[in-house]
Amino acid sequence: MATTEPVSSRAGRVRFTPRQRRRVLAKLLFIAAGTASFLLSVWLWFVADDRETGLYVGLWVPSLFSLGALVVSWEGDA
């Protein structure tokens, strides 16, 4: 039976399986996209003084995080 826990090597580094590496990469990708959307929304609202577009872009944040959670959980079932 395959283990899902990371395996530590002699140098103290943690080695992940390819599936675990894809999940971590997917999480980081969606977190980065949500954070970029939030920062763009704040910039549009306060700096560019385009509140309507700032609100629209701000709505992407929960959508991106929800999509990320869906993709990561779906990847784990495969």
The pLDDT assigned to 5 comes to 64
Q: Give the tokens for residue 66.
A: 């929800």
Tokens for 23, please give them: 């999940």
What letter represents residue 68's amino acid?
G
Question: Is the per-residue pLDDT at 1 higher than 50?
Answer: no
- Please state the pTM of the whole predicted model: 0.75
Summarised one tens digit per residue, pLDDT across range 23-76 is 999 999 999 999 999 999 999 999 999 999 999 999 999 999 999 999 988 865
Domain ranges of the chain: 19-77
User: From CA 68, how far away is CA 31, in angstroms rounded?
Assistant: 8
C-alpha–C-alpha distance, residues 2 and 36, integer Å: 36
Structure tokens that stand for 69 in this block: 């959670």
- Give the residue with greater pLDDT, 19 vs 52: 52
The pLDDT assigned to 9 comes to: 56
Count of CB atoms situated within 10 Å of the CB of 40? 17
Contact 26, 70 (CB under 8 A): no
